[in-house]
Structure 1
Amino acid sequence: MGHRQQAGVAVIEFTILLPFLLLLVFATAELGRALYQYSHLTRMVRDAGRYLSTTAIVDTTEILPNPFNDANCGNCISNTKDLLVYGKLGGSIPLLYGLDTSDVTITGDSVTDRVIITVDYDWMPLLGEQISGFGLGNDSNLSFNFHVSYAMRAGL
């Protein structure tokens, strides 16, 4: 077999392997991006929890208000949601694409004086939510939910 034939075989092999190599590179990048965003979301929830724990008790009773709502804690719930999602009070651009204040749930337990922040964030890959089954089956959904929860004692 001559040199020209060897070069032709190498091009054909490369052409066959290229889609798999690209898929591997993109999958690795998306996994890294997902881990980074999960870590970032966890940090955001933890920071918001610290803020909420210091603002939830507004009087000198050192007891979490019952019922625990914005009216009884000086808008601490709305402010915490803004801080978590936008990084500042009254923001409009979320720190994570697609994150909204409606994804954040804040509750308080007046018995244990704990405040709990829960976030359900639907992570989506850059290249779209679904991948085609290429006629071999149903499309596959590539997005998944990040569920992050943080509890802290109020007033500390």
Structure 2
Amino acid sequence: MDAPSKTGKKQKGIATLEFWLTAPFLLLVVFAVSELGWAFSQYHTMTRAARDGARYMSSHALLGMGIVFLDSNRVQETSNLVVYGNTLGAGEPLLPGWSTGDITVTKPDATHISVSATYNYIPLIGQIPAFYGGEPISMAFVMQSTVQMRAL
């Protein structure tokens, strides 16, 4: 019988070394994809809520023949609808840290309603550590969405 060859042990050592060299890159890719998916999900929620608010306001803003009126109670109900998903403003916000102060309802012209929403995106990871000194890089940014509809 032959003695165990040294080639098999060398191959195991090379595979382990290759894993440890590529593992940080693979982890970075996994975290980046997770963060990007979370950001898209949050943006989709914000845009859908702004669209619902614009639809609600546009159906209640027309007083007569071409007269669009932004009643302060309707504006508050619209802001509540966008942030909380209901006109009463009850429950938890649809996005963490979102408030009705982040919603703007305007009348850009005589026949349209515009609902603008901003959201300070809160990342899952937080900050990217700075290598070789320096300040960490923040992953937070501001998302914005504006929906404009004709008053009905």
Q: With structure 2 as the length reference, what TM-score do the two structures score?
A: 0.86
Q: Indicate whether 1:56 and 2:53 are aligned.
A: no
Consecutive aligned runs of 4 or more in structure 1 exceeding 6 Å deviation: none
Point out the structure with max Rg over C-alpha.
Answer: 2
Q: Indicate whether 1:87 and 2:85 are aligned.
A: yes
Number of corresponding residues: 146
Query: 1:31-50, aligned counterparts within 5 Å?
Result: 31-50=36-55
Which digits, 9 at most, give the CA deviation of each residue in 1:109-140, with x for residues without a partner? 4x523211111111121111x21112344321
- Cα distance in structure 2, aligned partners of 1:52 and 1:149: 14
RMSD (Å) for aligned C-alpha atoms = 1.8
- Cα distance in structure 2, aligned partners of 1:77 and 1:4: 72
Residue aligned with 1:2, SS:
helix
Q: Could you tell me which runs of 5 or more consecutive residues in structure 1 were left unpaired when the two chains were aligned.
A: none
Q: Indicate whether 1:25 and 2:30 are aligned.
A: yes
Q: Which residue of 1 aligns with 2:75?
A: 77
**2:146 is matched with which residue: 139, 149, 155?**
149
Q: Which residue of 2 aligns with 1:98?
A: 97
Q: Retained in 1: the 8 A contact 2:115–2:148? A: yes
Give the fraction of aligned pairs with identical amino acids, expressed as a percent.
Answer: 38
Q: Could you tell me which runs of 5 or more consecutive residues in structure 2 were left unpaired when the two chains were aligned.
A: 1-5
Q: Which residue of 1 aligns with 2:3?
A: none
Q: Indicate whether 1:132 and 2:122 are aligned.
A: no
